[in-house]
Chain A
Amino acid sequence: MLRIVSSVSRPSSASLLAVANRRNIASTSARQADITLTVDGKEVTVPQGSALIQACEAAGSPVPRFCYHDRLAIAGNCRMCLVEVARAPKPIASCAMPAAAGSVVFTNTPLVHEAREGVMEFLLANHPLDCPICDQGGECDLQDQSIRYGSDRTRFHEIAGKRAVSNKDLGPIVKTSMNRCIQCTRCVRFANEVAGVEELGTTGRGNDLQIGMYVEKMMDSELSGNIIDLCPVGALTSKPYAFHARPWELKTTESIDVLDALGSNIRVDSRGVQVMRVQPRTNDDVNEEWISDKTRYAYDGLRFQRLTTPLVKGPDNRFVAASWPDALAAIAAGLNRTGASGNEIKAVAGHLADTEALVVLKDLVNRLGSDNLASDLAGKFGNAPPVHGVDIRSNYSFNSTIPGVENADAILLVGTNPRHEAAVLNSRIRKSWLRSELVVGMVGERADTTYGYEHLGQDAKALEKFLTGKPSGEFAQRWAKAERPMIIVGSAMAEHADGEAVFGMLARYVSGAGNRVVREDWNGFNVLQRVASRPALYEIGFVPSRAAASATPKFIYLLNADEVDPASIPANAFVVYQGHHGDRGAALADVCLPGAAYTEKGSTWVNTEGRSQLGRAAVPPPGAAREDWKIVRALAEVLGVNLPYDDLVGVRDRMWAISPSLVRWDGVERTSIEVAKAGLGSLSAIGKKPPGGGKMTLVVNNFYQTDVVSRASVTMAQCTRAFVTREKEELNSIGKEPLQAHA
């Protein structure tokens, strides 16, 4: 029975825009006055409205806690954070107490020690003594804090006396062991506030209180893995990682996720040559501290279907393992045999191509005299220059920036479902929707977004009607008055027959609205990319020229291109596939070159905002696989093309020459307002024809399998069965969990 921010007053039905009626429980005024108080004899100044625990933190006095979490509502039910406040009759739960000016706080007195010890004793009264077989061991808050703050002896001697709670089946990702639960309700608050799964809660009361869904149901959320990190004990642990490693055996590498275009900051934990797990890393500008389940669990796909050695197709159309020199020579021979020249040489960049490799490949192809640089956009769109152009970055980027979502007061989604295209961004929209008066409108196929929205139509005609007509309805009224309106165009619009029309009409609308959408302090025109490589692709200009787009290729180089349309590859063309998985792309190839996956190379990734970030190698590539840019560089040598760099520093110098922001890691370079407006001006010129009216369909139908890594992943396949195709998961039912095949 929590007091949580709930969407109760905002059901995702048609009546959801009864905004005037809505009041939030947590709507503190934004008064930023600072107050000063004394903690352990140290004066600290904190913003008014901070919790006492934050003030203690600021004073450098650690306060133990279980239920308190920075990013969740305050519950105040574990009582571990008791502190002594002068002139208060009792110890005070510092998480639920606002810091008051002038109060004198002690965190290190006998009273506090005794209080903590007592709380610890009660928490442990019902906690099983199964640390040796608990997966949380080594990173368990309860374990650590009972060592630090608990009593060194027990007064409980019951053998049959501990509470027993049945385990819940939350799906293929979260393993539950509910006996260990200490009812901190972090998972419940996360599910309700952040993930938008309002199915998790607490049932019963007192000693019988338990976490669950009451009915037998799985936790259908693309963010469910985060509750594993949030759980301070071993009640919620990771099913795919169960009993695979202990935290102290793991090597930690800070890296970047590439399975969507958000560039979530991750920590790759590896043991030897295997990635054991992926965990989020805090970055308030990108992913706060959440990551999606795909980011977290697709890593087991890195173990299967890998290309470990160069492969050359023999005369009987079967791949034969080859050495690197032979494979590269076979490519050179293939290029000669086809006689491809100029734009007949085509390179196709796929979802998981890193920036370094793209730069080197572009240089190689350009030096071979070709401009035919395609990407694996759906259908014919990959072979043509993208509708939004690549000359001005703000035309294809998420210009408001990800934290900027929280400032918007009206969001118009066009042909996108952020929940599946950028799950963590979606949680930001939900957060803002819960805490502010944000309204959301959507043009496109209906989807469950975890927040309410007004559906404005399914096609470009509906969008045109909304932008140029006199729309009625709650959203239109709020949109007209919005101070920070935000348009989010899905990347799928660049692959839609009406793409030109959509981009054109939006650009004309934004340009026509003067300073309303784009001005010095606010750029509300956003394109949400869903594929990690594309922002970099556009940034370096990896797009075909108009002339190249019409050429018939004779030699095709697929760089991680697995979504490429097989029909776009002429039967007599010589095809090279470079990538890390034997998937669709490799099946089309004459020569396969094994590249490194994102956990195996140090490379630059540009996210949808245009933020370049540095991924780091956690494990070596398997077998004979090599870093991608090196493969292309070596091939250039064999083809007799001279590329002016031999090492990574040289490649990055080249990237600097192309676009300095590529190597200014971690920052977003804003497009200046004049340039952004010029970009919109150039977009305004396109798509003047009336739209065809094709439905804007959802581009991600199965969130769990969108690229080669997630398609090869066992866990993602189980998630697909559980949440997408909804097959009965016999293998994962409680009590008969088999060891994973890759254990």
Chain B
Amino acid sequence: MFARLPRRLPRLSALSSRPISTTVPKRSDALFIHRDTTYNNPQIAFKFNPQNLKRAEEIISHYPPQYKKAAVIPLLDLGQRQNKGWTSISVMNYVAEILELPPMRVYEVATFYTMFNREPIGTNFVQVCTTTPCMLMGSTDILKTTCAHLGGLKPGETTKDGKFTVIEVECQGACSNAPMMAINDDFYEDLTPETTKAILDAFSRGEKPKPGPQSSRQTSENSAGLTALASKPYGPGEFCLPEFQ
């Protein structure tokens, strides 16, 4: 009985000690302050082009004049689109100027929403969803494939040729077609590693593959075929009394 004691003692002490570092420090993926750089500083001029200016005026007209500031998100989005997909400090300042807001109010909005990219991105912005439904359907493979296919990127990085930026995103709301990724404004769904590669190749050639499910199914219909409403839908007057037929 006592002979077993020495063997148990270390175990006991192991239980009562705690490893020094039990969690990975959580670091944010972006800076929430602005530092002037050569490509992003207030001296770089930004102005809406005539079409966008017209569009901006139209957006502002949706809101009562004293609540002009409500247009800050659509205008930032417009600015981001015009500015190659990212919101520079000049874009924010310009939006603040248009809406007669203190610039800080615009910075607050732009830093709050993750879809405003405050650093430059590649021509094609690949957002791979890795939230639970997509993950269950194999999004880990999709992400790996994407990163490997684009030359061994890590999520958050841009390819050397500036054609692709890959990031991992939370649910995009296309769970019925998981796994999915969004490239620019389009969803590519029902992905497999092969279709993923094909899509990325098409984009790198400058083409735009057809968005939507990359499998054979229509939108998000049941992949096992129809299980209900499988018979021919009846037409007008069918099964009615003769006088109504």
Residue positions of A touching B, CB distance < 8 A: 1, 6, 8-9, 11, 13, 18, 21-23, 157-163, 166, 168, 198-205, 207-210, 212-216
Q: Is B26 within 8 A of A204, CB to CB? A: no
The 8 A CB mask of B78-106 against A (1 = contact, 0 = none) is 00000000000100000000001111110
Q: How far is the CB of B19 from chain A (nearest CB, A)?
A: 9
Within 8 A of A (CB), among B1-26: 18, 20-23, 25-26
Residue positions of B touching A, CB distance < 8 A: 18, 20-23, 25-26, 28, 30, 32-36, 42, 64-69, 89, 100-105, 107-109, 111-112
User: In whole angstroms, what is the CA distance A216 to B35 when docked?
Assistant: 7
Q: Contacting B20 at CB < 8 Å: which of A159, A200, A202?
A: A159
On whether A208 and B32 interact (CB within 8 A), knowing A157-B18, A158-B23, the answer reads yes
Chain A residues contacting B26 (CB-CB under 8 Å) are: 161, 163, 207
- Provide the main secondary structure of the chain A interface: loop
10 closest A-B pairs by CB: A198-B102, A204-B32, A214-B107, A203-B111, A201-B104, A208-B28, A203-B32, A21-B66, A9-B66, A11-B100
On whether A215 and B89 interact (CB within 8 A), knowing A158-B22, A161-B26, A203-B32, the answer reads yes
Q: Contacting A203 at CB < 8 Å: which of B35, B68, B89, B108?
A: B108
Q: Is A212 within 8 A of B105, CB to CB? A: no
User: In whole angstroms, what is the CA distance A175 to B22 when docked?
Assistant: 33
User: In whole angstroms, what is the CA distance A501 to B110 when docked?
Assistant: 53
Q: How far is the CB of B31 from chain A (nearest CB, A)?
A: 9
User: In whole angstroms, what is the CA distance A649 to B64 when docked?
Assistant: 65
Chain A residues contacting B25 (CB-CB under 8 Å) are: 158, 160-162
Pick 23 A–B contacts, CB within 8 A, sort by A.
A1-B108, A6-B102, A6-B105, A8-B105, A11-B100, A13-B100, A21-B65, A21-B66, A157-B18, A158-B23, A158-B25, A161-B25, A161-B26, A199-B104, A200-B104, A201-B105, A201-B107, A202-B108, A203-B107, A204-B111, A205-B112, A215-B34, A215-B42
Chain A residues contacting B18 (CB-CB under 8 Å) are: 157
- Provide the main secondary structure of the chain B interface: loop
Q: Is A214 within 8 A of B104, CB to CB? A: yes
User: In whole angstroms, what is the CA distance A21 to B36 when docked?
Assistant: 37
Q: Is B28 within 8 A of A207, CB to CB? A: yes
With most chain B CB atoms within 10 A of its CB, the pick from A11, A159, A203 is A203
Q: Is A214 within 8 A of B111, CB to CB? A: yes
Q: How far is the CB of B61 from chain A (nearest CB, A)?
A: 15
Q: Is A198 within 8 A of B105, CB to CB? A: yes
Output the nearest chain B residue to A15 by Cβ-Cβ distance.
Answer: B100
Output the nearest chain A residue to B111 by Cβ-Cβ distance.
Answer: A203
User: In whole angstroms, what is the CA distance A704 to B3 when docked?
Assistant: 81
Chain A residues contacting B89 (CB-CB under 8 Å) are: 215
User: In whole angstroms, what is the CA distance A13 to B34 when docked?
Assistant: 27
On whether A22 and B66 interact (CB within 8 A), knowing A203-B108, A212-B33, the answer reads yes
Q: Contacting A213 at CB < 8 Å: which of B20, B66, B69, B104?
A: B104
With most chain A CB atoms within 10 A of its CB, the pick from B20, B42, B102 is B102
Chain B residues contacting A216 (CB-CB under 8 Å) are: 33-36
With most chain A CB atoms within 10 A of its CB, the pick from B26, B67, B111 is B111
Chain B residues contacting A198 (CB-CB under 8 Å) are: 102, 104-105
User: In whole angstroms, what is the CA distance A158 to B89 when docked?
Assistant: 35
Q: Contacting A201 at CB < 8 Å: which of B22, B28, B35, B108?
A: B108
Q: Is A214 within 8 A of B34, CB to CB? A: yes
Q: How far is the CB of B103 from chain A (nearest CB, A)?
A: 8
Q: Is A204 within 8 A of B28, CB to CB? A: yes
User: In whole angstroms, what is the CA distance A202 to B101 when docked?
Assistant: 15
User: In whole angstroms, what is the CA distance A178 to B103 when docked?
Assistant: 22
Chain A residues contacting B103 (CB-CB under 8 Å) are: 199, 214-215
User: In whole angstroms, what is the CA distance A1 to B111 when docked?
Assistant: 10
Q: Is B33 within 8 A of A166, CB to CB? A: yes
User: In whole angstroms, what is the CA distance A166 to B42 when docked?
Assistant: 21
Q: How far is the CB of A19 from chain B (nearest CB, A)?
A: 10
Q: How far is the CB of A132 from chain B (nearest CB, A)?
A: 22
Q: Contacting A205 at CB < 8 Å: which of B69, B100, B111?
A: B111
User: In whole angstroms, what is the CA distance A6 to B104 when docked?
Assistant: 12
Output the nearest chain B residue to A20 by Cβ-Cβ distance.
Answer: B66
Q: How far is the CB of A15 from chain B (nearest CB, A)?
A: 8
Q: Contacting A210 at CB < 8 Å: which of B32, B34, B68?
A: B32
User: In whole angstroms, what is the CA distance A680 to B42 when docked?
Assistant: 53
Q: Is B32 within 8 A of A160, CB to CB? A: no
Q: How far is the CB of B93 from chain A (nearest CB, A)?
A: 9
User: In whole angstroms, what is the CA distance A11 to B30 when docked?
Assistant: 32
Q: Is B112 within 8 A of A8, CB to CB? A: no
Q: How far is the CB of B219 from chain A (nearest CB, A)?
A: 33
Chain A residues contacting B35 (CB-CB under 8 Å) are: 216
